[in-house]
Amino acid sequence: MSAPGPTHPEIARALLDLKRRHQEAREHADLRDDDESFARLAWAEDRGTETLKLIVAVYGWPGHTLAGENGADAAWWLAHHSDDVTFQEEALELLQEAVVAGEATRRQLAFLTDRVRVRYNRPQLYGTAFALDVDSIEPYGVEDPDRLDERRAEMGLEPFDEWQQLVRNHFPLRPRNTES
């Protein structure tokens, strides 16, 4: 017997489409590195945020029951990449409730928690966020680093060393141009 589908498949489709558009715009901006590409990315982020706000206002957090696992993941993705930190804080509270109710994952909660903390210049709890630039990839500061892997395990995350290696493999540094 398979799991029942989402109660609102149209919401799941809309969220998945917005996530796909955001990912495509992000990939394009990373490759092109021009104003037009970054404008498309900003548009995709804004559209995702505004649509998710509307869904939340009408239905509450779009968890597994409402939007299915993939739709719920897309909702988290959109909140995580939103430029609206006030909305991210609201989403974080709703996501905490959704995790307790079994409607979202602890992993999603860990990532959004760190995103909000970093945006307020607070140390992250789970070591999910990294500062990326041309020369380095470094994690943002972490609260109580001695217990980091313990906290990560509680949230269903791999050990920090494994995560850090995954991040560095995904975002390889560009070779420096040493010619003058």
pTM exceeding 0.85: yes
Q: Kindly tell me the burial class for residue 177, based on how many C-beta atoms sit within 10 Å of its own C-beta (0-12, 13-18, 19 or more).
A: exposed
Q: Is 18 domain-assigned?
A: yes
- Res 171: pLDDT: 80
Cα–Cα distance for residue pair 155/15, rounded to 1 Å: 24
Q: Is 128 domain-assigned?
A: yes
Do 6 and 55 fall into the same domain? yes
- Res 1: pLDDT: 47
pLDDT band at 176, cuts 50/70/90? low
**Average pLDDT of the chain, as a whole number:** 93
The pLDDT of 120-144, averaged and rounded, is 94
Q: Kindly tell me the burial class for residue 71, based on how many C-beta atoms sit within 10 Å of its own C-beta (0-12, 13-18, 19 or more).
A: buried
Q: How confident is the model over 19-68, as pLDDT tens digits? A: 999 999 998 887 777 889 889 999 999 999 999 999 999 999 999 999 99
| C-alpha separations of 92 from 15, 67, 144 in Å | 17, 18, 21
Do 52 and 141 fall into the same domain? no
- Res 3: pLDDT: 62
Q: How confident is the model over 93-111, as pLDDT tens digits? A: 999 999 999 999 999 999 9
Q: How confident is the model over 111-128, as pLDDT tens digits? A: 999 999 999 999 999 999
Do 84 and 35 fall into the same domain? yes
Q: What is the DSSP letter of 120?
A: T
Asked if 52 and 15 touch (Cβ cutoff 8 Å), the reply is yes
Number of domains in the chain: 2
